[in-house]
Chain A
């Protein structure tokens, strides 16, 4: 009892408890280790922690690569025309976001090439002058294969999808079987699959037209980079390597499929269908990855196109073009976002979704009756006429940098017989200057497709005056003669090269 009293009354000697002694001991040891660590100095190296495009396959939509460093860096120690080197060269600009260096390309990387990126020296922000503790970095990536698909017209290829890979010496692959006749097709965003509508070949002979939608794998397996600064992540890397694997997407049933469009993100599909037994039951339906097929509650319309944001639909309705939100299908109310009454056709939208290339038939302008105008309409409602012809405008496409619009149009030849002569023109959107790239023979019908890297286009022609619709090859037209022209967005007329393939609707894989 007495010892207890003395323990509570008298102050304890310092470090009386085991815990006190151990705690002070550990504290001293830790202080000593800290001092030692500080005295021994910095032994770490500054290095590139990650490179967003390492070992991946980039496409035209990948416009910026990101290098993440392990330390905050001195921005002045890295320059685009100095120590940061891309081989072959890809011009671009450097910007910084904290420890990330973002290199934005001036234009898409040319397809079918392998690139290396090297950074030999750099300094972190706190480096002492003269210190060299940077670990040189070497990265590599490649661009997607330069490839296109077409619907064959000759021999074995008749009515079948054919894939041509120009990056593999033009190797051809028959994707669909002979018992299906392909009517239309569209590639998925990574080019790993094609969406196509087809009918059984025996029905093609009897004239019954009840198409089914399928997908087919192309055998191309790009590895898309995970872009750390992108708002929308790239689609998941495909896994099926065998080309020609067919999956049914949507069969006709009680409806007949008329047209379809695949959203640029590959996740939403809009189809136009009509009830086989009730022609009044006609309209657009939406099929998305996470939802079953449902009707888009809007007025029936004509041609349609899904915008680059994959969330809005442009559809010809009555005398103009309506802009309809696609997600309205889920909420049940499709309120039109806008209606452009003057424009009868939409050909293309710029990849940033801000500008549409449309046709004005000039019906409200008596002076310009019977002419057609190609008009660019931006999201501010500003309209710019870039081309006016007395024939017709049959197609217009933006180049991937949105600096040029290519148009396939025709003019009426003087003379007693009415004859139209098609031509291919390129309009630089900055300078509003037009260059005629190619003039085609009179009375031909042509189609065109601009390559995803914007370096060439494919076109086909059909002679309307002769009945034989076959025999014409697919043509390749290079658009630039020098790299300087390319970055100045100045296409130059060149001689088209015939490719050893015959078919319809040649379409580049993205």
Chain B
């Protein structure tokens, strides 16, 4: 099989594997946007950054999405005004802390059941630390893509609706506008999230809401689906360019095995729902800590979902997420390898 064929196979398999979860993610995100009143939501959420991050991490149990489906939901949480600690906690932990992944890891590592608890425990700890870190930034908008930042309420100020539905001042700027009642306009060529934020309060009856959810799902899926195609193509190309054997040759010692498995997790971009079976095939020759690193780091950041993250966060924020999640995983699994007999 030539490299092109191989890349195409990898690309299609990544896409086929990720698409249903992305669809699930945009479905949850749209339902969250249409059905859940953001003010009520924000009021009920814990204010303390650590608690908020922990709540976000455990949200995965409600929204069982993998790392392709969590981006739209995390983005929606940010736009709905949820604390940033919570959105980051959800973003990093939801692909692991959910019933499907529990079960899959349990089945795969039947003779090492502790793997499930280590995996979930370390993921939650890393998600809470990262959530806390992001909560130090009171106004996260400088780190978000402009479209998201605009749709997002500034801290303790007006809601997204007002930023988009103006009282006519926008007529001074260019663009396509829809004239609303009472002299209000809606800017139609504004970024999608902004428009949806603006119309989200409109549907009242259940059937209207249902239609709005469908429309929003379609829009978001089109937007993120295209990004996913790009991400999968990049991941497939890198996998063909850097053969797995090279990565595995990094080493099998207590330190090098962790590095090898983290690089492998990043490159293969495999979904968190099935990655434990993939990791199992390395269980015979790699240390437990390195398998753990694969299972913890892989679902947080990988080559395929970096492009999805870039639809929400600006470069520096993605870099912080990536580098710090990697460092935290490395330090923790290194401690596991060097100090535990597990």
Contacts from A to B (Cβ < 8 Å): 17-20, 22-23, 26-27, 30-31, 33-34, 37-38, 40-45, 47, 49-50, 68, 70-72, 97-100, 125-126, 135, 228
Main secondary structure of the interface of A (DSSP, over half): mixed
State in angstroms the CA–CA spacing of A41 and B338 once bound together: 7
Partner of A31, one of B136, B327, B339: B327
| Nearest CB of chain A from residue B247's CB, rounded to whole Å | 17
Chain A residue at smallest Cβ distance from B329: A30
Extra A-B contacts (10), CB below 8 Å, given A30-B324, A34-B327, A49-B342 = A19-B143, A22-B133, A26-B133, A27-B327, A34-B330, A37-B335, A42-B337, A70-B288, A71-B287, A72-B286
Contact A19 B133 (CB under 8 A): yes
Complex interface: chain A residues within 8 A of B286 (CB): 72
Q: List 9 A-B contacts (CB under 8 A).
A: A19-B133, A19-B134, A26-B324, A37-B334, A43-B338, A72-B284, A99-B283, A125-B252, A126-B252
Contact in complex: A42, B338 (CB < 8 Å): yes
Within 8 A of A (CB), among B2-45: none
**Chain B residues whose CB sits within 8 angstroms of the CB of A19 once the complex forms:** 133-134, 136-137, 140, 143, 317, 320
Other-chain residue from B136, B283, B285, B317 in contact with A22 (beta carbon distance below 8 A): B136
Select from chain B the residue with minimum beta-carbon distance to A33.
B331
Q: Which residues of A contact B330 (CB under 8 A)?
A: 30, 34
- Chain B residues 250 to 305 lying within 8 A of chain A, measured CB to CB, are 252-255, 283-288
How far is the CB of A80 from the nearest CB of chain B, in Å? 21
How many whole Å from B115's CB to the nearest CB in chain A? 12
Nearest first, the 7 A-B pairs at minimum CB distance are: A98-B284, A19-B137, A30-B327, A23-B320, A18-B136, A22-B136, A126-B253
In the complex, are the beta carbons of A37 and B331 less than 8 A apart? yes
* Known contacts A19-B137, A99-B284; is-contact A135 B341 (Cβ 8 Å): yes
- Nearest-neighbour CB distance to chain A for B22, whole angstroms, equals 28
Q: With the chains together, A218 CA to B250 CA distance in Å? A: 58
Shortest Cβ gap from A330 to chain B (Å): 27
Interface contact A44-B255, CB-CB below 8 Å: no
Determine how close the nearest CB of chain B comes to the CB of A350; give it in whole angstroms. 30
> B316 in the interface, Cβ–Cβ < 8 Å?
yes
Knowing A23-B133, A30-B327, the reply to whether A40 touches B143 (Cβ < 8 A) is: no
Instruction: Report how far A72 CA is from B284 CA in the complex, Å.
Output: 7
Bound CA span A223–B57, Å: 41
Q: Are B136 and A30 in contact (CB under 8 A)?
A: no
Residues of B near A45 (CB, < 8 A) are 341
Known interface pairs A18-B137, A34-B330. Does A72 touch B285 (Cβ–Cβ under 8 Å)?
yes
Say whether A44 contacts B340, CB under 8 Å.
yes
**For chain B residues 305-340, which have a beta carbon within 8 Å of chain A?**
316-317, 320, 323-324, 327-328, 330-331, 334-335, 337-340
- Asked if B142 lies at the interface with its beta carbon under 8 angstroms from chain A, I say yes
Closest chain B residue to A36, Cβ basis: B331
Name the one of A43, A49, A72 contacting B252, with C-beta atoms under 8 angstroms.
A72
Which A residues touch B111, using CB under 8 A? 50, 68, 228
Q: How far is the CA of A164 from the CA of B2 in the complex (A)?
A: 69
Q: With A19-B320, A98-B285 given, is the CB distance from A70 to B342 under 8 Å?
A: yes
Given the complex of chains A and B, what is the CA–CA distance between A44 and B111 in angstroms?
20
B143–A17 touching, CB < 8 Å = yes
Contact B252–A20 (Cβ < 8 Å)? no
> Beyond A68-B111, A228-B111, is A30–B328 a contact (Cβ under 8 Å)?
yes
**B338: which of A30, A44, A125, A126 is its contact (CB, 8 Å)?**
A44
